[in-house]
Structures are given as structure tokens and as C-alpha cells.
Amino acid sequence: MDQSPSLKHSTVLAPEVRLRRYLIGSGAVLLALFLFSFTVGPYPVPVESVVAVFLHRLHLVDETWSDAVELVVFNIRGPRIVAAILVGATLAMAGATYQDLFRNPLVSPAILGVSAGAGFGAALGVMFNLSRIGIQGTAFVCGLAAVAMAVGLEQWLDRHALLVMVLAGMVVSAFFQALIAMLKVFADPLNQLPTITFWLLGGLHRITADALFIALWPIMLACAVLFALR
């Protein structure tokens, strides 16, 4: 039976071509959002001014704007926007790593209880008045503990079912969320409770260029290790 002309002339794109088009399209969207983000805020900065500021750093155009515009672009909004991109990239990298490690396309750090476990660890560090590094350390350890609990529960129930790991992660996440709620009840309402709440909510308003540079090194190290183990 002859195929229709539309089927004869239809071509399926190679995976490399599709990947290239996806990367180009995603990069264009990211660049557009990156430039647009500079225009959002109480101090208006047009997109053309943002582009001109970057071109001025490359000695391609002359300066025709006030120092406030350059201050907003490079010292205030720039580090926050770059930090948001890095956070999104690392979360995506973590999700892909979990899916590949556990051979399960449904899992992610949030589903496996890592987010709730890390939140509990941070709240625990705040309760014990630990330093910033100590809070991050307890958050990391409790996040690993949440993963271990989810994996152990999944293997105890049925290690061959994909949905069992998802359900196990939801149980572990609910468990740590309950522990966070309990810590909030016992926390000091004037000092500790606001710190726990704002830590769990997250925010980029305190990001500076120096803090961004410090955070960039462990992110790059993690990327290099995961790329080597791919």
C-alpha cells in the first residue's frame, strides 16, 4: 500500500538537530527574560539602557546615562538575576540527577522530601542559634537523611514500582513538614520564628556580587562532578 505524499515527504528531525533547536530557543528565551528582569522594580531602567550599559563595559558605546543606572544594573539587580538563574539551573540539575540515579522519571528533590528535610535542618539550626554555615550544614545533612528515609521506605515496600518511591517521598516530606511546624510552635516568636519563616520562604533581596561569587564555586564544583559521572 502506497504511503500518502505527506508521509513520503515528511522527515523526522535527528535528536541532535532537535537538541540544538531546543538549546537555541531556550537560550533566546532566557536572554530575553534576563534583559526584561532589569526593567522590573521601583527604579525604571529601559531595556535599551541595560543593553547599552553592558556594551559600555565592552567599550563599544559611550556612556550617556547616570551613575544610578549602572549601580542598579551591576550592584543591585544584576546579582539577584544571576542568582535566580543559578538557583533554577541547580534545581534542574538536581532533578535530572535524582531521576537518573533512581531510574525514576517522577522523582525530584521536592517529591523525595529533600526540600522538607533541608527546611527542618535549617529550622533546627536556627533553634540552636548556629552560624550561617552551621545552618546550611544541618540543612544539608537533614536533606540527605530525608533521601535515605524515602529510599529505605521504598525498598521496604516494593522496590520495583515507580509510584511507590513517589508515595514514600511524599510520606517523608509530610513527616518533616510536621517537624517544622512543631519547631515553629516552640521557637521564639520575636527572633527565631521570623528567621525560620524567611529562611523557608527564601529570597534574593540580600544577594550581593561578593556573595554570588562565593556561591558560584560550590555550584561549579557540583556541576563538574555530576558532568564527570554522567
* Domain shared by 121 and 200, yes or no: yes
Judge whether 8 lies within some domain.
no
Chain position carrying cell 545533612? 141
Judge whether 4 lies within some domain.
no
Confidence tier at 9 by pLDDT (50, 70, 90): very low
Domain residue limits at 208: 75-228
CA separation, residue 203 to residues 37, 43, 72, 197 (Å):
15, 19, 18, 11
Confidence tier at 137 by pLDDT (50, 70, 90): very high
H-helix or E-strand spanning residue 155: helix 132-157
Judge whether 169 lies within some domain.
yes
* Domain shared by 199 and 91, yes or no: yes
* Domain shared by 57 and 92, yes or no: no
CA separation, residue 58 to residues 49, 51, 61, 194 (Å):
14, 11, 8, 43
* Domain shared by 185 and 214, yes or no: yes
Q: What is the CATH number of the domain that holds 110?
A: 1.10.3470.10
* Domain shared by 57 and 133, yes or no: no
* Domain shared by 197 and 104, yes or no: yes
Q: Which of 120-124, 128-132, 189-193 has the highest mean pLDDT?
A: 120-124
For the segment 128-133, the average pLDDT, to the nearest whole number, is 91
Phi then psi for 13, rounded to 5 degrees?
Answer: -65, 140
Q: How far apart are CA 115 and CA 91, in angstroms?
A: 11
Split into its structural domains, the chain has a count of 2
* Domain shared by 121 and 178, yes or no: yes
- Percent residues over pLDDT 70 in the chain: 93
Judge whether 5 lies within some domain.
no
* Domain shared by 109 and 207, yes or no: yes
CB atoms under 10 Å from CB of 161, counted, come to 12
* Domain shared by 43 and 79, yes or no: no
Which pLDDT score, from 0 to 100, does residue 10 have? 47
Judge whether 6 lies within some domain.
no
Question: What is the average pLDDT score of the chain?
Answer: 87
Judge whether 70 lies within some domain.
no
Which pLDDT score, from 0 to 100, does residue 88 have? 92
Cell numbers for 45: 531602567
Please tell me the pTM assigned to this model: 0.80
Which pLDDT score, from 0 to 100, does residue 81 have? 94
* Domain shared by 57 and 79, yes or no: no
Judge whether 94 lies within some domain.
yes
Judge whether 220 lies within some domain.
yes
* Domain shared by 99 and 60, yes or no: no
C-alpha count within 13 angstroms, C-beta hemisphere, residue 167:
11
* Domain shared by 115 and 221, yes or no: yes
